[in-house]
Amino acid sequence: MASIFQNHAACREPISEASPAGREISSVAQAEWKEFSSKQGNFSVLMPGEPQEQIDDKEFPVVGKGQVHLFSFSNDSGFYLVGYLDIPGLAGQTQAFCDGFGKGFLHSIGEGTAKGARGSVVKDTDITIGNSPGKEILIQVPTGLATARAYFIKRRGYQLIAVPSGTDGASNVKKFLDSFKLTVQ
């Protein structure tokens, strides 16, 4: 997932600061956040606009081909990305193998995301969503401080990334990250 993150300019080029008039627009835009859901990805999250989807295939040892689905949106309030990783080959593996795969996914996602964004990990914290393991990672990127969360839930990896901009940046990051939920369990 992190390799695709590097293609997003929002992590490398500053998003222009809102002018006083722009702040009013940003506040209006904040009220217009809407739920985005992916039926195939089994999740929903609040986004400040309609995200663009990008799909990439990735090869994994032992389990074979996987598919990364990323949904990203960028505006004057920041950059927002949510994605999931499907690996059909995990279905034929034992639960112990999948648990180990998930630990590896969570262990490597911070450094991979930081590298893709030409940044560095500042902090890495274990978190959970329900009974599933996760990570929250703070990453220093050229445009500021990005916050990423990653989860491994029922043989599927999820990642969210937010890079704030403007006066409502911190509250927008929290709104985005805290709104993530599974729609099918």
Q: How far is the C-alpha of 77 from the C-alpha of 163, rounded, in Å? A: 9
Q: What are phi and psi of 44, to 5 degrees?
A: -140, 155
Secondary structure, 3-state, 57-89? EEEECCCEEEEEEEEEEEECCEEEEEEEEECHH
Q: Enter the pTM of the model.
A: 0.83
Confidence of residue 143 (pLDDT cuts 50, 70, 90): confident
| Residue-level pLDDT at 185 | 59
Give the mean pLDDT of the chain: 84
Q: How far is the C-alpha of 143 from the C-alpha of 154, rounded, in Å? A: 34
Reading phi first (left if > 0) and then psi (alpha if -120 to 50, else beta), residue 95 is in: alpha
pLDDT digits (tens, 9 = 90+) for 25-73: 444 444 589 999 999 999 999 999 999 999 999 898 888 899 999 999 9
Average pLDDT over residues 3-23: 43
DSSP label of 16 = P
| Residue-level pLDDT at 18 | 36
Domains of the chain (ranges plus CATH)? 2-182 (3.40.1000.10)
Confidence of residue 1 (pLDDT cuts 50, 70, 90): low
Report percent pLDDT > 90 for the chain: 66
